[in-house]
Structure 1
């Protein structure tokens, strides 16, 4: 075999291998990029309530206790940079960019709900009032005890209290802890970790599912 033929075969192999590696790299990078950017900003309005399934042990317990698919929620607002955010009670209470919030949930899935009479109720003045009502909670710790005080706060409590303070509306029915299904092992384990032997069964609670099923809301994305 001539040196030229050997050189040609060698170059061909190099090109094939390089092309394969480049293709693999492009695929991996593309997959990573798609994973990050697959979430498009949905058509939303300020004051919309957004729901998702968060991926945690506590989320599983909430789903089992409330018989709900969704375990986490927040309110959609714009900020000074004119971008969309979800105001949420996580650890701590904070504003999270909407795309980031959606992609963080299970399978990037979310449901967005809106007041039936949002056009009349959620005026610019009321949206400003809602943001003001939520400001004292910003930076507060997440309430793993699900208490009704304002010292700490959990996700649906934050949304409910902002709506109540700014509009007078109660989005979702308040319940007591004893009204939920506390029978599953996962729920019992979480209750034990949170409360020990002193479970506050009469504590007022607003659950994500109670808000999700509120007749005051309509689904705009699901």
Structure 2
């Protein structure tokens, strides 16, 4: 390459949007990331809630590297690249608090990190109960934001409010509950958080 082209190339690279590179260059502590899981319950979650996305987590930086704090078999940190690779087609959407510049101060970010200890290592909640003994993915994100920052992202619903007539949903509920479905159990779904007006999309792939 001609030396004369280096200044031009540098200028063009500087003008590229941050999202044009790897997501890690754009993500910040507290970002909320969604994808379509390939787990056994993904289809049931999508049909019950009417959501394209069935799994989510919170991005937190550890020694400058992005991880997703998520509830899978247990609540744990997963490297970002590993997390995105698990999703259907590697696609994902990242959302951020609309007022993140003022809300997510260094102190607020520190509180998010600190409150992860409330949940780390907890087993996954297959029956979607609103307790801390076991945790499911959207419950983890909702409670982390609520307890660290007092921010409630998305409205809680009762199990009875979802589409329980779909065959895939009925089969999964029989598997999990038998004939004792807790219809009035409060639940937070990925789509309720995804659609919250408190969030804005910062990346979609």
**Partner-residue secondary structure (3-state), 1:114:** strand
| 2:54 corresponds to | 71
Q: Which of 172, 176, 190 is the aligned partner of 1:190?
A: 172
| 1:44 corresponds to | 27
Q: Which of 211, 215, 218 is the aligned partner of 2:193?
A: 211
Larger radius of gyration: 1
**Partner-residue secondary structure (3-state), 1:94:** strand
Shift of 1:40: 5.5
Shift of 1:42: 5.1
Shift of 1:166: 1.4
Distance 1:208 1:196 in 2: 24
Distance 1:195 1:144 in 2: 10
Aligned-residue Cα RMSD (Å) equals: 1.3
Q: Hey, which of these two has a bigger chunk of helix by percent?
A: 1
Moved beyond 2 Å, runs of 4+: 39-42
Distance 2:31 2:23 in 1: 16
Distance 2:148 2:64 in 1: 22
Unaligned runs of 5+ in 2: 1-21
Distance 1:42 1:184, change over 3 A: farther
TM-score by length of 2: 0.87
Is 2:124 the counterpart of 1:142?
A: yes
Unaligned runs of 5+ in 1: 1-38
| 1:9 corresponds to | none
